[in-house]
Amino acid sequence: MVMKGVVCRTGVAVLLLCAGMAEAVWGLLQLCGFLPSRHALFPLTGSFYNPGPYGCFLAMLLPLAVAFYLGKTAWKRWAGMAYVMLAVAPLAASMSRTGWLAAALGCSFTILLLNRHWLTTAWRRLWDYHRRHRVKTYLCIAVVAITAAFAAYALVGLKAQSAQGRVLMWKIGAKAMAGVPLAGVGWDNVAGTYGEAQEAYFSLHSDSGEIAVAGAPEYLFNEYLQIGVAYGVPAFVAFILVLCMGVYRGVKGRAYGFAGSLLAFMTVAFASYPLQFTLFLVCICAVALCCFWSVPCRRFSAWWLLNCLLTAGGCILCVAVAVTRYEREAAREEWGAGVRRLYHSRAYRAAAEGYAPFYDRLNHDAAFLFEYGHSLHKTGEYEESVRILEKAAEVSSDAMVLNIIGKNRQAMGEYAEAEKCFRRSSRRQPALLYPHYLLMKLYEEAGDSAGMVREARYLSGTRAKVPSPAEEEMRGEARQILEKLVTFQSE
């Protein structure tokens, strides 16, 4: 029975490493220019659409390859070496700090477990050295600590704004989870709930230095918080417990490569969005299940029943997610290859008519809903546009959704509701100037001179995070209003 389990785990490991090697080769071919990237700004993505999760995927399987390489079987050593040699270059080129950290932690954990006897001997020798040379020992510890601190600072400084943005997302994500502690809001509505939480946060911290890094993320870049917001605190706790128990069972069952890979995934899940990809989900379910089944257990015991439940649940989850995402991607491709071109060519009436049949299949897609609602706004169907865009606000954190809702309200003469939307937009992404420009135009139309001047002064005295011709145009209109005010007062 134990032998069958080992053979089964070995087969799963081989399949996982083959998938990882295929991704690594894919990335290398992209780097060499033989295959196209799936992102316009990055040359390396593998089958993913961003180099970040691509690097994280390669990093997750690296501990498994290290365990193979440190094994005693010749073919396993060659397989492990092949994966390491193929994966290291694209992992480095992905510039994924999370992937690098996950690879370092997972591989270190696996190597330490595979060399526990050597470590025990080394620890005894170090302790003996410490007793004989205390000053030198403390100096060495201080040097290592300072070096590690500098390395961590350099890693964060590599993309400082990105790191600050993630910290802000985690902070607001935690507040969003606290707002829906039991039931959650559902997987598709996490971004919309985050946007509302960000509004509430900046309404209380309007002068925060975090304004510069506040954006409109699709994901929370933390799968623990993502699950917590989607399904509540119980799911958040259960997810963490399952992963921790998986590592524990992997270590206990001497499946050190799988345990290291699971630890690497836990690191990736803390600062990225791996569960948004079906391949990542299937692979991590396989890794976790191999950890749980690595410890032999009697039939109908508590652990056996738990393992069976997790296996059934994992298989059902993978199949359900794969089918759902396939159907959604098929609908999105059909929409993108057809009527979406009408929107981008500004044939808004034809686009609105063409988008309507896709609504039932794509009412979870933020981009589809925004473009549908915007097309209706352009054709003067303001009430229908509001209905569609309010649905978009549930699944998107983008402030532009609120801007178009506000413009619809303004066109219908509902100035108070329009002002509320523009104010919400300005709090959701405080670095943007466009909501203040819309407020200025609203006050001008409504005859509120004081409000118009207030927003004009804000626009003329504030610089956008990303300078653009549109910013200068808005600033120019604001200056004209202020100049007219000065001329009127002088007369």
Average pLDDT rounded to a whole number, residues 347-366: 93
195-226 pLDDT tens trace: 999 999 998 887 777 888 888 889 999 999 99
150-188 pLDDT tens trace: 665 555 555 656 678 788 999 999 999 999 888 899 999
What pLDDT, on a 0 to 100 scale, did the predictor assign at position 8?
Answer: 82
Would you say residue 14 has pLDDT above 90? yes
Would you say residue 326 has pLDDT above 90? yes
What pLDDT, on a 0 to 100 scale, did the predictor assign at position 133?
Answer: 67
Kindly indicate the confidence band of residue 129, based on its pLDDT and cuts at 50, 70 and 90.
Answer: low
Kindly indicate the confidence band of residue 107, based on its pLDDT and cuts at 50, 70 and 90.
Answer: very high
Would you say residue 297 has pLDDT above 90? no
Average pLDDT rounded to a whole number, residues 232-246: 95
pTM of the model: 0.88
380-418 pLDDT tens trace: 999 999 999 999 999 999 999 999 999 999 999 999 999
Are 459 and 443 spatial neighbours (Cβ–Cβ below 8 Å)?
Answer: no
403-412 pLDDT tens trace: 999 999 999 9
What pLDDT, on a 0 to 100 scale, did the predictor assign at position 413?
Answer: 92
39-52 pLDDT tens trace: 888 888 989 888 98
Would you say residue 137 has pLDDT above 80? no
The CA distance from 29 to 345, in Å, is 34
Mean pLDDT over all residues of the chain? Answer: 88
Would you say residue 118 has pLDDT above 90? no
Kindly indicate the confidence band of residue 37, based on its pLDDT and cuts at 50, 70 and 90.
Answer: confident
